[in-house]
Amino acid sequence: MMRSLDDVKKELMKDPEFAKEYEAIQPEMNIIRAIADTRISQNLTQKELAKRTGINQADISKLENGTRNPTLNLLKRLADGMGMVLKIEFVPKQKI
CATH code (residue 36): 1.10.260.40
State whether the Cα torsion 87-37-83-79 is positive or negative: positive
Query: How many structural domains is the chain composed of?
Result: 1
Instruction: Output the pLDDT for position 96.
Output: 60
* Residue 13 domain-assigned (yes or no): no
b/e sequence 65-91, b meaning 16+ C-beta within 10 Å: eeeeebeeebbebbbebbeeeeeeeee
Helix (H, G, I), strand (E, B) or coil at 20: helix
Instruction: Output the pLDDT for position 95.
Output: 74
* Residue 58 domain-assigned (yes or no): yes
For the chain, 96 residues long, the average pLDDT of each consecutive 10-residue run is 86 93 91 96 97 97 94 96 95 80
Phi, psi of 21 (to 5 degrees): -65, -40
Instruction: Output the pLDDT for position 2.
Output: 80
Full-prediction pTM beyond 0.95? no
Name the residue range of residue 60's domain: 21-81
Instruction: Output the pLDDT for position 79.
Output: 97
Instruction: Output the pLDDT for position 93.
Output: 83
End-to-end CA distance of the chain: 29
CA distances to 35, 46, 70 from 63, rounded to whole Å, are: 8, 11, 7
